[in-house]
Amino acid sequence: MILSKTTEYALSILGFMATRNRELYPAEYLYAQLKIPRQYLRRLLTDLTKKGFIASTRGRNGGFVFARDLSTINFSQVIDAMEGPEAMNTCLLGFAACIADHPCAMHDLWLEARAKMVETLTKTSLADLREKYLKDQVTNDK
């Protein structure tokens, strides 16, 4: 599975927000921290809002917050929302014509690995990411 830059950035935004102890994330703060081009970042924030992952607050003290509990957002949902539902069924090598009737060299090996990857992406929520990050921070502080 090859993810687009848009999906990589979306995962970066949500991952960053999930692993910090802020309640509100202004777009300028996200820009300063993540270095995603401003226009691209604003479009992504709008898309993530429309897809129900985050909500926006307007005004001088505005910004973005999670629209729902982190435990209800898993990585496969984000990938599906940004890439489409077939994103995780694509060819490992990126061939558009790789199907069961005309498989690429890695097709059969990729099936098992893809199933495990999809399972992990489906089981892993942003809450899990946050918990691991915070636990790692405590370990690193010792």
User: 70-124, pLDDT tens digit by residue?
Assistant: 999 999 999 999 998 777 777 767 777 777 677 888 877 888 888 898 999 999 9
Radius of gyration of the chain (CA): 17
Domains of the chain, start order:
5-141 (1.10.10.10)
Interatomic CA distance for residues 23 and 64, integer angstroms: 8
Under DSSP, is residue 38 helix (H, G, I), strand (E, B) or coil? helix
For 57, the enclosing helix (H) or strand (E) is: strand 54-57
**CA pair distance 66, 132, nearest whole angstrom:** 19
Q: What pTM was computed for the model?
A: 0.86
- The tokens describing 114, both together, are 């893809």
Q: What would the pLDDT profile of 28-49 be if each residue is shown by its tens digit?
A: 999 999 999 999 999 999 999 9
